Structure 1
Amino acid sequence: MYYKRNEAYRFVFNQPVEGKMTKREENSTVTTKVHILDVSNQGAKINCKNVVDLKENTKINLSFSLKSHSFHASGKIIWIKNFHHSSEVGLQLNTDAEYKNNMIKELKEIAKQNKKK
């Protein structure tokens, strides 16, 4: 399935940000470390090791920190690209106004710091 996030504000990190993703299923939950490649107000692209069986539409929780804020969001897997030792995964996140405001604020700070370098 082809899926492209067409959001006005999407930020690609120079260095991936570490985070955790919890796969939520009826009988169990599994948490794994992930690297966040890009993020927007309602989505993210992550990379994770192939230690967890992932499927489209699986419910997840994603958590990560940027500078001074921690972010936590629930959502679902939209697409998966499997590689030999890892997978790239597209997530659709359910976010509220506070999450969006804090995200934009943090990403603007990161962009400012990157310009200074």
Structure 2
Amino acid sequence: MRYKREEAFRFQFREPLTGSLKIISINGKREDFYSDSIEIMDVSPNGLKFNTPLNLSINDNKYFLEVTFIIEGRTIRVLGVPAWKKTEGSIFAYGFNGIKDEKTNQEIIQALKEYSKKVYNEQKNRR
């Protein structure tokens, strides 16, 4: 697995976040034929890691994807490409690089701040 050392942070969820995956194009040809639920394991402003039973042949094809998820009531939509794939039993884990979009990056940062504050307060109140 590759790590991006230039990333400011990567937020790993204790419980996976449910999201959706939509294939926009394959090898530059517009598609819109596939959409499915995914589990998001971690998020950064520039990308994320997700799990799905869908086996994309990323070495043979160029995929352009849309990943959508909700954090703290904010719907986040990220467009981008798969960077890597790892098989985990019958599930496939993917690294996903979002296209550079400052507005989306700021939305993700703000949503993660709110989410982490909520998680921190919940843990604090349990003590």
The verdict on a shared fold, with TM-score over 0.5 as the criterion, is: yes
Aligned residue in 1 for 2:12? 12
- 1:109 pairs, out of 105, 111, 114, with 114
TM-score (norm 2): 0.81
Question: Could you tell me how far 1:27 is from its partner in structure 2?
Answer: 6.1
- 1:14-72 deviation digits (Å, cap 9, x = unpaired): 111111111232263311110000001111000112xx330224221111111121111
- Letter of the structure 1 residue corresponding to residue 107 of structure 2: N
Larger radius of gyration: 2
Give the Cα separation in 1 of the matches to 2:92 and 2:15: 17
1:115 is paired with a residue of what secondary structure?
helix
TM-score (norm 1): 0.87
* Equivalent residue runs for 1:15-94 within 5 Å: 15-23=15-23, 24-25=25-26, 26=29, 28=31, 29-49=33-53, 52-56=54-58, 57-94=62-99
Q: For the structure 1 residues 27 and 10, does the alpha-carbon distance in structure 2 shift closer, same or farther, using more than 3 Å as the test?
A: closer
1:53 is paired with a residue of what secondary structure?
coil
Contact conserved, 1:45 with 1:88, CA < 8 A, in 2? yes
- 1:70-112 deviation digits (Å, cap 9, x = unpaired): 1111110110001221111000001422211121111111111
Matched residues, number = 114
Identical-residue share of aligned pairs (%): 23
